[in-house]
Structure formats: structure tokens, C-alpha cells
């Protein structure tokens, strides 16, 4: 699970989902951008964006770079280092 904090203290992370179709037995795997929040003393997750299979991002490092980029876009900031996802310079 990849995570980062927004300035408004919402905990946002990329969540890996595994779902099995009970009729066919086929297993589906995909990712969601989720927000963690509290209602009273219970933690809940809210789906912000379905990201699909992310087959182009096979490693945890690539998904971390994606999470950092999403954070920078949403907070209108830039990172210390710019990353090329899936390519080389």
C-alpha cells in the first residue's frame, strides 16, 4: 500500500483490491485511490478514483511515484525530484 498525507490531514493511499467472480471463479485485481477518515473512533475508506489494473506499473516503486505525482497535482506543488514513469532519460 502506498500512502501520503494531504495538508488538510486526509490520509490518501493506493489500495490493491482482489475480487473473485463467484459464478466463474475468475480473479480480478485492480487498484483504487482511497481516502481514509474517521467517524467517531472507527476508520473508514472512501474511494476517490478507480485506477484499474495498472499493468504498466508493475513495481511498488512505480506505484509510489504515481502516488507522489497525484499528491503534487492535488496540492499544486512539485516534488524534490521529477520522475519519468516507465521511461528513461
Q: For residue 83, name the pLDDT band (cuts at 50, 70, 90).
A: low
φ, ψ (nearest 5 deg) of residue 53: -80, -25
Cell of 21: 467472480
Is the pTM here over 0.85, yes or no?
no
C-alpha to C-alpha distance for 9 and 36, rounded to whole angstroms: 10
Mean pLDDT of the chain: 76
Q: For residue 7, name the pLDDT band (cuts at 50, 70, 90).
A: very low
Q: Which pLDDT does position 80 carry in this prediction?
A: 54
C-alpha to C-alpha distance for 6 and 55, rounded to whole angstroms: 26
pLDDT digits (tens, 9 = 90+) for 10-39: 677 888 899 999 999 999 988 888 888 888
Q: What share of the chain is helix, strand, coil (3-state, %, to 5)?
A: 20, 45, 40
Amino acid at each position: 500500500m502506498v500512502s501520503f498525507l494531504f495538508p488538510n490531514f486526509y490520509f490518501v493511499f493506493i489500495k490493491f483490491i482482489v475480487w473473485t467472480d463467484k459464478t466463474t471463479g475468475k480473479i480480478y485485481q485492480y487498484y483504487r485511490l482511497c481516502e481514509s477518515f474517521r467517524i467517531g473512533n472507527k476508520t473508514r475508506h472512501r474511494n476517490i478514483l478507480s485506477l484499474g489494473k495498472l499493468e504498466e506499473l508493475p513495481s511498488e516503486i512505480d506505484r509510489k511515484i504515481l502516488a507522489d505525482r497525484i499528491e503534487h497535482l492535488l496540492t499544486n506543488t512539485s516534488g524534490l525530484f521529477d520522475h519519468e514513469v516507465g521511461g528513461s532519460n
